[in-house]
Structure 1
Amino acid sequence: MTVRFSILAAGAICAAAASAHAQSGFDDVVQAEVLQGWDLPDGRRVAALRLTLAPGWKTYWRAPGDAGIPPHFDWGRARNLRDVSVTWPTPNVYVEYGLRSIGYTGQVVIPVYVTPARAGKPVRLRSTMSLGVCAEVCLPHQIEFDTLLDAPDASPTPAIVAALADVPYSASEAGVSAATCTLRPTDRGMQIEARVTLPDTGGREVAVIEPGVPGVWVSEAKTTRRGGTVTAVSEMVHQKGGAFGVDRSNVRITILGGHYAVDIKGCTGS
């Protein structure tokens, strides 16, 4: 079962947007639906959002890169919702005009694990997803959805199963034997150097560092591999300026390789 909902375009934000384009021409760049999913034995439900983008358009991963627009979910209007966890399939890396962005083209299914506040009762999944979509122009969008998850079903949904199979490997699954982070103060903030020891993930490897600190901007990581170790270096600056702290246990390092991706949660001091 799927439930369709509306897409609200908020207007162009890229300077590259040409005045000859009418806003009505962007109404159908992304279509969306909620996949009801199935119930788990522990009381949670696996549902998903399926986004279908028009040819030539892309949207962004949770860490979109310097040229991307980060997605955001507001679950404040949901009912009977204790917790929700979003699971992102492995994204693609794009380089345009010298800038790197990370996201998806075509179609992407984004699984969500939903925990009800009252077990066994329907969840009203009422929320807003803010996201960006880009082609020659970039548009911020809002997806408003209001779905009642009330159809008991233990049968896995094939599209969601496929999306879950496409998530990055965990550190243990990928054979990561060490992940260290070195932090150094800079004039504007802090530099982080992550070193991850793991087997080659294939092709050109791109590392993404997420510090786990709200309001901190992170530069595109300079990624190199020597033997069995990937080194990634990023600059971090707080959006409001000033000092900030980083808890290494909250640092998240994702390595996107040509064959597979790896999600490393936490690092230790060097």
Structure 2
Amino acid sequence: MMHFRPLMSALAVALTSLAPAMAPASDMTTGLSKVDLRPGWRMADGTHMAALHIVLEPGWKTYWRAPGDAGIPPQFDWSGSQNISGISTEWPTPHVFYEQGMRSVGYQTEVIIPLHMRAAEAGTDIKLSGHMQIGICKDVCIPAELTFAATLPPSQTQPDPTIAAALTDRPYTAREGQVSGITCEIEPAQDGGLVLRTKIDLPSTGDPEHVVVEAGNPQVWVAEPDSMRDGGSLYASTRLVHVNGGSFVLDRSQLRFTVIGTSRAVDIQGCAR
């Protein structure tokens, strides 16, 4: 049986030059082998691409942005940063695991998470200061905390091949994945919440196919969908419930569907009627 235990320690990763920083082994939370903040490069459009590189000890795993029923969702706090007008994470394609009969979505061995940021004042240093909470699991799940900082100068323009490789290892867009249509039916559930039934028209991504549904609202819990393929269409049905048990409005444009197959994954945003 999986057990959860309190955070045992926090890992601080500091970066003040262009050399990637690695925390000493003695500072590591159980389950983590190495954490690097890769400084990346300033791109032609003035945005900056860096990355967080997490290496896990054998047998451990960590979670994707939508971790599933058995996972712990990652959380970022960039409030201590300077000269950043916006920052987004570019998640690589995850894998699906089953733990005690529950589905989780994440990574084994290691994960490189590209960080795409825009400077408030173009052509000047970005002072990145981040705090990340993640779950790492083996026989137990530990909510680990990572703290990291970096000065990212505009003079560094040489792309980092490690980050570039992580950027290519992402789900296809709906167009790239040849999605020709998606429709959703929404109705009240008998025991509360909403039932969402979805039909996605796309070629097979490789059997078995898993559908991950995100509501676009962190206060809405989404159950693991039941899914089946019929020719060129993939059908999925799930239930959505507000975490406080209250009513809510589901914005179709904020719904996000990720189909994860054995050969590829496809990211679909928004759903027509």
Q: Is the 8 A contact 2:84 2:120 kept in 1?
A: yes
Aligned: 1:87 with 2:104: no
- For 1:227, give the aligned amino acid: G
Deviation at 1:213, TM superposition (A): 1.6
Report the equivalent of 1:220.
Answer: 224
d(CA) in 2 for partners of 1:133 and 1:28? 7
Matches within 5 A, 1:137-152: 137-150=140-153, 152=155
CA contact (8 A) 1:208 1:254 kept: yes
TM alignment of 1:72-221, pairs within 5 A: 72-150=75-153, 152-186=155-189, 187-221=191-225
Pick from 247, 253, 258 the counterpart of residue 257 of structure 2. Answer: 253
Does structure 2 conserve the Cα–Cα contact (< 8 Å) formed by 1:3 and 1:147? no
CA contact (8 A) 1:5 1:143 kept: no
* Alpha-carbon distance change, 2 to 257 in structure 1, aligned in 2, over 3 angstroms: farther
Secondary structure in structure 1 of the residue aligned to 2:176 = helix
- Deviation (angstroms), 1:96: 2.0
CA distance in 1, matches of 2:128, 2:22: 12
Name which of 223, 244, 257 aligns with 1:240: 244
User: CA separation in 2, counterparts of 1:28 and 1:148?
Assistant: 28
- Measure, in 1, the Cα distance between the counterparts of 2:158 and 2:130: 25
Amino acid paired to 2:166: A
**Quick one: distance in 2 between partners of 1:113 and 1:165?**
14
**Cα–Cα, structure 1 residues 242 and 153, in superposed 2: closer, same or farther, change >3 Å?**
same
- In the alignment, does 2:31 pair up with 1:31? no
CA shift, 1:30, in A, is 4.2
Determine if contact 2:86/2:117 at 8 Å carries over to the other structure. Answer: yes
**Cα deviation per residue 1:165-201 (whole Å; 9 max; x = unaligned)?**
1100000011100011111111321111121100111
In the alignment, residue 62 of structure 2 is paired with which amino acid? T
1:3 deviates by 3.5
Task: Give CA deviations for 1:104-136 in whole Å, capped at 9, x if unaligned.
Answer: 011111011110111111111101000000001
Q: How many residues align?
A: 253
Q: Is the 8 A contact 2:42 2:154 kept in 1?
A: no
CA contact (8 A) 2:257 2:269 kept: yes
**Cα pair 2:242 2:248 within 8 Å, conserved:** yes
Closer, same or farther in 2 for the Cα pair 1:25/1:128, shift >3 Å?
closer
RMSD: 1.6
Question: Which stretches in structure 1 are left out of the alignment for 5+ residues?
Answer: 8-23
TM-score, with length taken from structure 1? 0.90
Q: Structure 2 unaligned runs (5+)? A: 1-17
Pick closer, same or farther for the CA change 1:194–1:30 going to 2, 3 Å: farther
Query: What's the TM-score, normalizing by structure 2?
Result: 0.89
Alignment correspondent of 2:20: 3
Distance 1:38 1:246, change over 3 A: same
